[in-house]
Chains A and B, each alone.
Chain A
Amino acid sequence: MPQTYRDPEENLPEWLRALRKRQEEEAAASQPEPPAEEGRTEEPGWLSEIRQRYRTSSLEQDAEAETAALEDTQPRPPGRTESEPIQEPLPEPEEISPFSDSEPVLEEAAPAFPTEEPASQPAFADDPGDETSHPVVPAFSEDPEALGAEMPGWLESLRPDEGFPLEDERSEAMLPESGPLPTGPLADLSDALPASEIGQMGKPPEFSTRLEATASQRQHAAVLKELLQTEQQSAAEGQPPPLPARMLGMIISALLFLAVLFPLLSGSQSADRPEPSFFPEAGRLFNNIDVLPAGAPVLLAFELQPARYGEVAPAAAAVMRHLLDRQARLVFISTEETGPALAERLLAEQFANTPAISTGSYTNLGYLSGGVAALRSFISDPRGAVLGTPEREDPWAAAPLEGIQHLRDFALILVVSGDADTTRAWVEQGAIELPGGLFAATSAQAGPLLRPYLHSDPVTLRGLVSGVHGAVVYERLRGQDGLGRQYWDAYSYGLGSMALLILLGGLYSRLLQAQAEVKPAPGGGSHGP
């Protein structure tokens, strides 16, 4: 049986361990002395300084250290360092991108290592195998030379001479057991924690103390916590989170599950249902479908992933049932790999007995790979977009689709989606080609985000049904019961328990927090997900 909790070192992938080993061997071979003391010839200056900083005590900062710690929440002004005057610029390169950051950065710091590179040979033409011999090839910095050599400005601003809280006499008191750690990564590190906080950190806190801390504690103790966290990680992982926190997680999960299960097991269907008149966006969708002529081609962009299937199915099924009752010709498309399969699943689960479905009188255009790019391509030219099927059939050859040249030739476009983004992508990319806008049946989470589009000018989203709630509204509009009704009571009990649990759980958390503020807490991790 594999171990559940392991030491982070132990859990390092083998390739990373091998890398580390190689790194250590090389370091041992080339640097017999500790790097911070000797200063590696290959080590960039900024890294030496970081190492040096954590090994050097400074006695001169208390109040200033606090200020400086706050100061690093902002980037330094563009193109300069606060600590250093602008230095002599390096010679202007012959050709420079207008967006190259070479000027300011080069002004700030001279390269720590030489950047002798071929002046004109394109990297693409270089022998790839030779790439290790080229010292500076930035990934996407604006000026590779400068970035390669300089210490990031924000890091520079934290150097000892600029007031970053360094190790001082408080550090020993803060560290576990008031003594230097004999081994491990914390062996010679320190931190800056105000004396007022020391009492709370007097003994080694548990790994999960972080979440029990107040904002103030967190602000001041962030560094020490990070250090302790790593140091004690393996030990803490072997221990369960504190009982109160574990209990909270378990109680919330158990109560929520029970609240949802109760109406399902009892078969209750008595919960109040929402009044459709309060949801005009659902009414607009209903009205537009209700006037469709028989055989009208309707495009369903089935942008669904399995995670959202269960929740979106009631709303999608309610609208699709209406479409099938109006004898619309359904055409499915999806930019999600799983969209076509989920469309088939919904058809099989809910509409297997409907004549149009059982006889296969619908078209599944399949999956459009390429995200927004593919969508853009499809919207501007549906027929030209790549729509391969394994059988290499031309889906557009079927009689009902013969007349479709443009997207606007569809009588109605419905986006069935689990999130607002895919619906937004359709709305945004189709803003020009679809002046009439489109409709959507989505997850509850997309609802708030799509509302602004319902009122945009020109109107890009004309109607919307979202979540189980939307399904119930639509079913009421149609006077039919469906999945929405089936789930509604459980949903209602789940909603009630969620509101209650958040309120009571929040109060309980505050109580725990208040206790932790009064006396040092042994831990405060959470339990469960």
Chain B
Amino acid sequence: MVLDLDFIGLLVAAVLTLVVLSYALGDHPIFRFVLYLFIGVSAGYAAAVAVQDVVFPQLVYPILDELNAAPSLDLAELGVRVLLVVMLLAKLSPRTARLGNPATSLLAGVGAALAVGGAAQGTILPQIGSAAGSFDMASFNLAWQGGYYLEAIEVIFNGIVLVLATVSTLAYFHFGAVSRGKQEPLRNLLVDSLAWLGGFFIAIALAALFSGVLLAALGALVERLDFLQRTLSLLLGAP
């Protein structure tokens, strides 16, 4: 009987799926075995892709081009890249690790800058800006002019709740407090009151987020069980 690679792959995938799903009923050695297999495969794949897609084109090919007297990068740029790479490789040994500090510091500096820029430009300012839409004034005016006063008030109420939720959530995290010796530090009344309210909104937000993760996991479970069911049907020759 000739087994083609696709069919073997299907069987392997089905067995691995079954083993991992069985962890829901309890830990066992075969699950651990699969776990380590997974760590190995994913590491090997990720590293190979990085070498292939980045290290080769950014470093290896330019060096080869340089050696073949057909430079694709200017020498200074190539020199900096090689220097950084050598520094990073120095991290392999504890004795030389300190030589690599500039390379990791470059990563830290760039990472921090992107985080700062992203937070300010991408989140804080747009989110403040979006508060402008808290009160749906178009709907309010329409309702008011049409004599739907209750609906108009509802629009205002909704806006107040939305703004209050944002403000009280922010206030919940206020860290500063006044020291009271042996007793717990105390925040001022306004902050504490807002924070108390914020606790409810935060709990609701966390519940919404948690339900999102639950539903995502449920989607994955449905897909896996569907896959197992289809594979079983295939093996049994069902239509």
Binding site for B on A (CB under 8 A): 1-2, 4, 64, 67-68, 70-71, 73-74, 77, 82, 123-124, 126, 128-129, 131, 163, 246, 249-250, 253-254, 256-257, 260-261, 264-265, 307-308, 310-311, 313-314, 337-338, 366-367, 369-370, 372-373, 376, 386, 388-390, 392, 418, 424-425, 427-429, 431-432, 443-449, 452-453, 455-458, 460, 467-469, 486-487, 490-491, 494-495, 498, 527-529
> Are the CB atoms of B121 and A495 closer together than 8 Å?
no
Check if A443 sits within 8 Å of B216, measured CB to CB: yes
Tell me if B68 counts as interface (CB < 8 A to partner A). Answer: no
Let me know if B141 is at the binding interface, CB within 8 A. no
Extra inter-chain contacts (8) besides given A257-B221, A455-B133, CB under 8 Å: A249-B25, A310-B223, A337-B49, A444-B216, A447-B212, A448-B212, A452-B130, A456-B129
A153 CB to closest chain B CB (Å) equals: 13
Are B216 and A491 in contact, with the CB atoms below 8 A?
no
- Given A74-B184, A386-B58, A452-B130 in contact, is the A445-B216 Cβ separation under 8 Å? yes
B130-A457 in contact (CB<8A): yes
23 interchain pairs, CB-CB under 8 A? A1-B29, A74-B185, A124-B99, A128-B99, A250-B25, A250-B26, A253-B25, A337-B49, A367-B53, A372-B118, A373-B114, A386-B58, A388-B57, A388-B58, A429-B114, A443-B212, A448-B209, A456-B130, A457-B132, A460-B126, A491-B219, A494-B218, A498-B218
Task: List the 3 closest pairs (A to B, CB-CB), nearest first.
Answer: A428-B122, A388-B57, A310-B223
Say yes or no: A449 contacts B182, CB within 8 Å.
no
Contact residues of A: prevailing secondary structure: helix
Interface residue B52 (Cβ < 8 Å from any Cβ of A): yes
Query: B185 to nearest A CB, angstroms?
Result: 6
A residues within 8 A CB of B85? none
Asked if B75 is at the interface (CB within 8 A of a chain A CB), the reply is: no
Q: How far is the CB of B44 from chain A (nearest CB, A)?
A: 11
A456 touches B126 (CB 8 A): yes
The answer, yes or no, to whether B183 is at the interface (CB within 8 Å) is yes
Interface residues of B in 182-233 (CB under 8 A from A): 182-185, 205, 208-209, 211-227, 229
- Shortest beta-carbon distance, A466 to chain B, in Å? 8
User: Do B29 and A2 have beta carbons less than 8 Å apart?
Assistant: yes
Q: Do the beta carbons of A429 and B50 come within 8 Å of each other?
A: no
Whether B114 contacts A376 by the Cβ 8 Å rule is yes
Chain B contact residues, CB within 8 Å of chain A:
21, 23-29, 32, 45-46, 49-50, 52-54, 56-58, 61, 95-99, 101-102, 110-111, 114-115, 118-119, 121-123, 126-127, 129-130, 132-133, 177, 179, 181-185, 205, 208-209, 211-227, 229
A256 x B216 contact (CB < 8 A): no
Q: Is the CB of B98 within 8 A of A128?
A: yes
B222 touching A392 by the CB < 8 A rule?
Answer: no
Tell me which residues across on chain A come within 8 A of B133, comparing CB atoms: 455, 457
| Interface residues of chain B: helix, strand, loop or mixed (majority) | helix
The docked-state distance in angstroms from the alpha carbon of A457 to that of B225 is 42
Considering only CB atoms, which chain B residue lies closest to A250 in the complex? B25
Whether A390 pairs with B52 at a CB distance below 8 angstroms is: yes
Which partner residue on chain A sits nearest B107 by CB separation?
Answer: A373
Q: Do B216 and A311 touch (CB < 8 A)?
A: yes
- Tell me whether B23 and A528 are in contact (CB under 8 A): yes
B209 near A264 with CB under 8 A, answer: no
Closest Cβ neighbor of B21 among chain A residues: A257
Which of B29, B118, B132, B218 has most A Cβ within 10 Å?
A: B218
Contacts of A308 in B (CB 8 A): 216, 220
State A128–B98 Cα separation when bound (angstroms): 6
Contacts of B179 in A (CB 8 A): 77, 82
Once bound together, how far apart are the Cα atoms of A389 and B49, in whole Å? Answer: 10
- Which one of B23, B29, B53 contacts A366 once the chains associate, using CB atoms below 8 Å? B53
Complex CA–CA separation, A428 to B120 (angstroms):
9
CA distance A212 to B121 in the complex (A): 45
A337 touches B122 (CB 8 A): no
Q: Counting chain A CB atoms within 10 Å of each CB, which of B29, B57, B114, B126 scores highest? A: B126
Complex Cα–Cα for A456 and B115 (A): 20
Q: Are A264 and B226 in contact (CB under 8 A)?
A: yes
- Taken together as a complex, chains A and B put the C-alpha atoms of A117 and B211 apart, in Å, by 55
User: CA of A312 to CA of B209 in the docked complex: distance in angstroms?
Assistant: 17
| Residues on the A chain within 8 Å of B50, using CB | 337, 367, 369
Q: Report yes or no: B220 in contact with A367, Cβ–Cβ below 8 A.
A: no
Known: A432-B121, A455-B130. A71 touches B215 (CB 8 A): no
Among A82, A126, A446, A528, the residue within 8 A (CB) of B24 is A528
Q: Which residue of B lies closest to A487 (CB)?
A: B222
Which residue of chain B is the closest to A502 with respect to CB atoms? Answer: B214
Task: Give Cα A64–Cα B216 distance, bound, in whole angstroms.
Answer: 49
Indicate if the CB atoms of B49 and A367 lie closer than 8 Å.
yes
Is B61 within 8 A of A67, CB to CB?
no
In Å, the complex CA distance between A429 and B223 comes to 33
**Contact, CB under 8 Å: A253 / B130:** no
A366 vs B123: C-alpha distance in the bound complex, in angstroms? 28
Q: Are A468 and B61 in contact (CB under 8 A)?
A: no
Chain A residues whose C-beta falls within 8 Å of the C-beta of B28 in the assembled complex: 4
Residues on A with beta carbons closer than 8 Å to the beta carbon of B99: 124, 128
Residue of B nearest to A466 (CB): B212
- Cβ of B111 and Cβ of A373 under 8 Å apart? yes
> Contact at A428–B129, with CB atoms within 8 Å?
no
How far apart sit A381 and B156, CA to CA, in the bound complex (Å)?
44
Instruction: Tell me if B24 and A257 are in contact (CB < 8 A).
Output: yes
| A residues in contact with B224, CB < 8 Å | 310
Distance (whole angstroms) from the CB of B10 to the closest CB of chain A: 12
Which of B53, B95, B99, B216 counts the most chain A CB atoms within 10 A? B216
Determine the chain B residues whose CB is within 8 A of the CB of A455 once the complex forms. Answer: 130, 133
- Nearest B residue to A432 via CB reads B121
- Residues of A within 8 Å of B58, CB to CB, are 386, 388
Please judge, given known A-B contacts A70-B184, A77-B179, A457-B132, whether A253 and B24 are in contact too, CB under 8 Å: yes
Q: List, in ascending order, chain A residues with CB within 8 A of B118's CB.
A: 372, 425, 428-429
The answer on a CB contact under 8 Å between A392 and B61 is yes
Residue of B at shortest CB range from A446? Answer: B212
Instruction: Give the residues in chain B near A246, CB-CB below 8 Å.
Output: 26
